[in-house]
Amino acid sequence: MTALAPSPRRLGTTGPEVFPLGLGCMGMSDLYGPADRTESIATLHAALDAGVTLLDTGDFYGMGHNELLIAEALKGRPRENVVLSVKFGALRDPAGNWIGFDGRPQAVKTALAYTLKRLGVDYIDIYRPARLDPVVPVEETVGAIADMVQAGYVRHVGLSEVGADTIRRAAAVHPVSDLQIEYSLISRGIEDGILQTCRDLGIGITAYGVLSRGLISGHYQASGAASDFRAHSPRFQGENVAENLKLVEALRQVAQARGASVAQVAIAWVAAQGADILPLVGARRRDRLTEALGSLDVTLDAAALAAIEAAIPKGAAKGARYAAAQMAMLDSERTGA
């Protein structure tokens, strides 16, 4: 008997239909320590072969490396079979330091031109500013993307890590397909207004960090690599990481009772929060991808959801999700967002 294909999810009322898990590709190029290029390409191929359609990247992931990697993986495959979600605007120096954000209309269009060339495609499915530019009105940034939609270089406008007021302002300029934002059992800030705003406006959620950068994957081990930004993340430091891993062990008991892994239950929990939410998994290896795909077979009934809530209550995590300087850049974290 052939297994039924998983039901697709639509990104908002105006966005594309996609496979019910997306693949976040950042870790294949940057920020989590060394990655294996051959394994990265193999993982991308395995994801596409399994039916995954949405690939998420940013032009600043490895300063273009990630887009070039994806382009290599897509060679010989039909363009219409993949949904490319690209973030832009983050500024970095040659040492990889974060030095600001540029959401000016001319910068939007220039960044898009380079992205199209690196990916080897003639349009991007969803184009989104990675953060809100503090000095450029969001209407101008979104207006520039809307110009590129009109010109045929972009299919849909997306947002990332912005609060409710910014979402409303952006949506007044052009329909928004989805908001990309961190959402997991230990990062539930969007439940305090942002999620409802998106639902009111027919905007989907692309949830990244569903395993909290591996912290609640059930597999976490400190890499020790200087290039692994988690070493500077409050949730991964000192007593915080020890307390957070205790939550993972409580979740492990819930998962084992249901014949699933910790990661599968954590991903399934995000998916269970609404059909308008697409979990992004950051698998860099085929075995981790296979495990993540297994979450699609995990059904969480009311009893399971209650057990998960008891294991990891809202607000139980120790430490902020980013260091203070990065938290200050998040419009989604501002009071009243």
Residues classed as catalytic: 61
Torsion of CA 100, 127, 144, 118, to 10 degrees: 80
Can you read off the two tokens belonging to residue 51? 């039916």
Question: DSSP string of 201-217?
Answer: HT-EEEEE-TTTTTTTS
82 alpha carbon, distance to own chain's centre = 16
Amino acid at 235: R
**Residue 86 DSSP SS3:** strand
Pairing of strands 277-281, 22-24: parallel
H/E segment holding residue 306: helix 302-311
Can you read off the two tokens belonging to residue 328? 């200050």
Alpha helices in 81-193 (DSSP H): 105-119, 138-150, 164-173
The 3-state secondary structure of 15-74, one letter per residue: CCEECCCEEECHHHCCCECCCCHHHHHHHHHHHHHCCCCEEEEECCCCCCHHHHHHHHHH
How many Cα atoms are found within 13 Å in the side-chain-facing hemisphere of 3?
7
Can you read off the two tokens belonging to residue 150? 């009109």
Which residues contact residue 106 at a Cβ distance below 8 angstroms, ignoring those fewer than 6 apart?
144
37 to 70, 72, 235, 287, 289: CA distances (angstroms): 11, 11, 28, 15, 16
321 to 44, 171, 184, 187, 315: CA distances (angstroms): 27, 27, 11, 7, 12
Amino acid at 192: D
